[in-house]
Amino acid sequence: MHKVTSLEIAELAGVSQSTVSRALRKSPLVNPETRRRIQRIAREHNYKVDRSASNLRSQHSRTIAMLVHEESGMDSDINPFFVSMLASITRAAAARNYDVLLSFQQLSKNWIADYENSNKAEGIILLGYGGYTDYIRKIELLDNAHVLTWGPVIDGQPGHFVGCDNRRGGYIATRYLLELGHTRIGFLGDISDDCPEFKDRYSGYCDALLQAGLSVDPELQASSHSSMHSGHLAARELFSRGNGFSAIFSSSDLTALGAVHAVQKENLSIPEDVSIVGFDNIPSATHMSPALTTVRQNTVKAGEVMVDTLLRLVRGDYVESQLIQPELIVRDSCGPV
C-alpha cells in the first residue's frame, strides 16, 4: 500500500506543498475555498499528516506519557478507581489532540528522563499507589521534568500534584453518618505518614466527630490498604475488639467491599445493623447489594484538570497543586441507627 504524502495532494490540488500543509493546519492564510478543496482531496485519498515528520519539524510530540506504577507488582488488586482515571486522562488528552503513551512499571528516574529526552512525550502523568515516602524521594530528583502526579496535596512537598480534597471527603462522609444518629463509627484505612490520602480522610472523620461534640476513639480505627482482602481483615479486627459500632467509614470502596463480606459473615444486615460508607465511587459500588453509599472522586473532572495542568507545566506556566472537590453519593448502605 503506497503511502500518500502532502506533495502528492499538492499535485492533485494544483497547489504547492506548503499550501497543502497550511490548509490542513487550518491556517487563516489560506483561501477558504482552496482550503476546502485541499481538505476534500486529502480525505478522498486517506491522507494523514505524517506525525514523525510533523513532530520533528515542529519539535512537539503532542503526546503525553502515563505511567502506572505499583510497588507491589501485578498480582495485587488493581483499584478500579485507577482504571477510571486512566480512561478519563486518555479521553481528556484526546479531546486536546494529544496522544497517550502507556507504561506499567516501577518508578525510575531513567524512565522519566528517557521519555522527554527522546521527544516521545512532552510530559508525564504518574498514577499509582504504594509508599508515599519512597515515592516523594524519587520525585525530588525530577523537579526539572514535566511530571504531574495524582496523589496527596501537601504543603511544601516537591513536585506537582493534583488530588482529591480527602479531608473534606472524610468530613462529609462522617457527618452524614452522624446525621443518621450514629455515634460509634469505625474507620477502615492506614493512617500512617506513608498514606497521606487515607490520613487526610481520617482527619476529616475526626473533624466531624469533634464538631459533633464526640471524642475520637482510636479503638475504632483499623488499618487497611485499598483491597477487598485487606478491608475484610480490617472489619474483622474491628469486630474482634468488641467495642461495638453501628457504622463504618471505609477509606476506599474496595476496602468497603471486603468489609461488607465481613459484616455479612457476622450475620448482620446492611444497613439495618451496620451502615457503611465507602470512598471512590468505583463501578461496583452501584452494582453491589445493597448499593454502596460512597464519596465520589470525580474522575472525569480529575482527568481534565490533570491534562490541562500538565500542559501548562509543559508550556512553562506557573502551576499550583490542585484539589478536586469530592461529593457524597447516597445509596442504600446506610440507615438510621
User: Residues interacting with DNA, by CB under 7 A?
Assistant: 3-7, 15-19, 21-22, 24-25, 28-32, 34, 47, 49-50, 53-54, 56-59
29 binds a second copy (CB under 8 A): no
Q: Which does 17 bind (CB under 5 to 8 A by kind): a second copy, DNA, none?
A: DNA
- Determine the interface stretch with a second copy among 58-66, 179-187, 200-208, 325-333 (rule: CB under 8 A): 58-66
Give min distance, CB of 17 to DNA, in A.
6
Residue with cell 497543502: 20
Residue 118 grid coordinates: 527522546
101 binds a second copy (CB under 8 A): yes
Sort 315 into a burial class: Cβ within 10 Å, 0-12 / 13-18 / 19+: exposed
86 binds a second copy (CB under 8 A): yes
Say if residues 186 and 220 touch (Cβ distance below 8 Å): yes
Q: What is the DSSP letter of 275?
A: E
Sort 210 into a burial class: Cβ within 10 Å, 0-12 / 13-18 / 19+: exposed
- Determine the interface stretch with a second copy among 5-13, 88-96, 216-224, 237-245 (rule: CB under 8 A): 88-96
Taking the C-alpha atoms of residue 313 and residue 183, their distance in angstroms, rounded to an integer, is 45
User: Could you say which of 15, 20, 24, 66 contacts a second copy (CB under 8 A)?
Assistant: 66
Give min distance, CB of 103 to a second copy, in A.
6
**Which has the closest alpha carbon to 153: 172, 177, 169, 175?**
169
Q: Would you give the distance in Å from CA 105 to the centre of its chain?
A: 17
Residue 236 grid coordinates: 474483622
Tell me which residues touch a second copy (CB under 8 A). 1, 3-4, 46-53, 55-56, 61, 63, 66, 68, 74-78, 80, 83-84, 86-87, 90-91, 94, 99-105, 113-114, 117-120, 144, 227-229, 232, 258, 261, 264-265, 283-284, 286-289
